[in-house]
Amino acid sequence: MKNIFYSIAILVVGLSFGCHNGEGHLSVSTIDNQSDFKFEAKYAESKTDKLEKYLDSALNNELPLDQHIDLLVNLNGSDKFNLKAKKGWLEISFDKRNSTAAGYKKVKKLTEGIKSKLME
């Protein structure tokens, strides 16, 4: 009886660890209210290179997503957004109060592209 209990406990711990650290996980959240737009993605680290290539082409800038980065990205002179990233995680924050509607649309389109790349 004792051996069965230990076997079940080890199995449960092993399965929960395996499911949590699986390569297929994807979590995307978006907060869009009157003043702010925030996008966060947690994804499999193996997709970092694909995402990096997409962002490099979309922003015409090379971003090392495999490092810890926290930078302000300039869209068109007046519109900026904050990009934080490391392997397996990306966050974009955009202040709608101090930006144009065109800037908001660009950031929203960028995040939709990120989401589609991560879902491939």
Q: Which domain holds residue 34?
A: 24-119
* Position 13 in a domain: no
Q: What is the pTM of this model?
A: 0.77
55 within 8 A of 32, measured Cβ to Cβ: no
| pLDDT digit string, tens, across residues 65-84 | 888 999 999 887 789 999 99
Q: Kindly provide the residue ranges of all beta strands, DSSP E only, lying in the chain, ordered along the sequence.
A: 26-32, 36-43, 69-74, 80-86, 89-95
Q: What CATH number corresponds to the domain at position 114?
A: 3.30.70
Q: Is 63 exposed, middle or buried (0-12, 13-18, 19+ CB in 10 A)?
A: middle
* 16 occurs within a structural domain: no
Residue 91, amino acid: E
Within a domain: 6? no
* Domain presence at residue 94: yes
> Each residue of 10-68: pLDDT tens digit?
655 554 555 555 567 899 999 999 999 999 999 999 999 999 999 999 988 888 888 89
Rounded CA gap, 35 and 51, in Å?
A: 27
Q: How far is 14 from 39, CA to CA, in rounded Å?
A: 32
Asked whether residue 3 is domain-assigned, the answer is: no
- In total, how many domains does the chain have? 1
Residues 94/81, Cβ–Cβ less than 8 Å: yes
